[in-house]
Amino acid sequence: MDKELMFIIENKELYLEREIVTLDIPLLFVCIDNSHQRYLCLCTDSDELSYLVAESKDKNIINLLESTIPMKDAFKLCDKIWKIITQDNIIEDEINKVIYDDIPSIDLPQDGATLGFTNPYLDEYKEIIKQELEEYQTSFEIYRRIALFKCSHRSIKLKSMNNNTHLIESYSQNKENYYSFNTTISV
Amino acid sequence: MNTEKIDYSKFPSVLKKVLDDEIYSFPKETLFKYEPKLVYRVINRSPDVVDEDISITREDFKSYIELGKKYRGKTTISHYSCSFFTKKDELEAILKLPRPNKRIIKGYIKDIHGPIYLNNRSHVDLWLYKDVNLSSEFELEKR
């Protein structure tokens, strides 16, 4: 399916990934750029067609979808936020970086209000993000252990055994001393 | 979707035109025959207006395209429909978003009003026939 370009911020193209709340147009949604960075997006005025776009950690999006944090806090926890007033031509959008504390409360969700619902479409999305996080954490843990192992061994070989098990073989150059261990990564 | 030929002349002219020109077509899962469904919709009203002063009008059921509103992204046939929800919780989330100048209305939609498309959320696209006026069949959901 064609990707739907929503914004261009600092030369990064942001594509619509998932609508969370929609009323004729997406009101609360997630965009993603080509480096797989996700952005939480909120329509602040559907007549003027203006938005708040916040660079978000994946865990923050999961928390919003699971209603464990208020929607407003999901924006507060983002380091970079932009206010966008759209124009007919996307490259002419008026884009300004803003500080959370300077955002008028009228442009934010109600105090303390959580999303408060889910559906199969959002459940599926949550699982996608969780799976990605798990894979990322597993990879990170493997490379961390490899890095530690490399400190004391000349050469190593990595074999993926299954989803979570990775055999790290380590041996010296003449293979006189052969070490191996089986490690199960739990994330 | 029914295989019988759809009479596009039953739809408002803006929708008829894009269907005639084959710019858009109804999703294949579109239902032309269905049992009456209780649905909810939001309408724009100032939060200061009391319930008794709110009257529901035909304008409240116009599609995004008919209202001539701006949008970002690709146009789809969904923009030519009137949006409803089968569950109130998704609409309640809308009321928590910025500029809460919205109120919830509820009523039954029937196949005589137009074809519908249901997705895996609780959202319903209803492509209203041009002579249908739902205003008298919907009522305000009390706050």
Q: How far apart are CA B35 and CA B76, in angstroms?
A: 26
Q: With contact defined as beta carbons under 8 Å apart, do B87 and A116 qualify?
A: no
Q: Mean pLDDT, chain A, as a whole number?
A: 85
The minimum CA-CA distance between A5 and chain B, rounded to whole Å, is 7
Q: Is A161 exposed, middle or buried (0-12, 13-18, 19+ CB in 10 A)?
A: exposed
User: Residue A60 has what pLDDT?
Assistant: 97
Best of A84, A117, A123, A126 to disrupt the B interface (most B CBs within 10 Å) is A117
The minimum CA-CA distance between B23 and chain A, rounded to whole Å, is 17
Q: With contact defined as beta carbons under 8 Å apart, do A54 and A61 qualify?
A: no
pLDDT tens per residue across span B40-71: 999 988 878 888 888 999 999 999 999 888 88
Name the pTM for this structure: 0.81
Hey, are the CB atoms on A106 and B98 less than 8 Å from each other?
Answer: yes
pLDDT tens per residue across span A37-65: 999 999 999 888 999 999 999 999 999 99
Hey, are the CB atoms on A86 and B70 less than 8 Å from each other?
Answer: yes
Q: Which residues of B touch A115 (CB under 8 A)?
A: 93
Residue A174 has pLDDT above 60, yes or no: no
Average pLDDT over residues B5-14: 92
Q: With contact defined as beta carbons under 8 Å apart, do B71 and B79 qualify?
A: yes
Best of B44, B60, B72, B94 to disrupt the A interface (most A CBs within 10 Å) is B72
Sheet holding A5-9, edge to edge: A5-9, A12-23, A25-32, A38-45, A50-56, A80-85, A94-98
pLDDT tens per residue across span A59-102: 999 999 999 999 999 999 999 999 999 999 999 999 999 999 99
Residue A180 has pLDDT above 60, yes or no: no
User: Residue B36 has what pLDDT?
Assistant: 97
Q: Which residue of A has its CA nearest to B78?
A: A24
Residue with tokens 């609508």: A19
Residue A182 has pLDDT above 80, yes or no: no
Residue A110 has pLDDT above 70, yes or no: yes
Q: Which residue of A has its CA nearest to B92?
A: A116
Q: How far apart are CA A43 and CA A107, in angstroms?
A: 8
Q: Which residue of B has its CA nearest to A28?
A: B97
ipTM field: 0.85
Q: Which of residues 26-45 of A touch B (CB under 8 A)?
A: 26-28, 42-45
Q: How far apart are CA A68 and CA A115, in angstroms?
A: 9
Q: How far apart are CA A100 and CA A82, in angstroms?
A: 9
Q: How far is CA A83 from the centre of its chain?
A: 20
Residue A1 has pLDDT above 60, yes or no: no
Query: Would you call A21 an interface residue with chain B, using a CB distance cutoff of 8 Å?
Result: yes
Q: Which of residues 86-125 of A touch B (CB under 8 A)?
A: 86, 88, 90, 106-110, 113, 115-117, 119-122
pLDDT tens per residue across span A128-173: 999 999 887 777 677 666 666 665 555 666 666 665 566 665 554 4
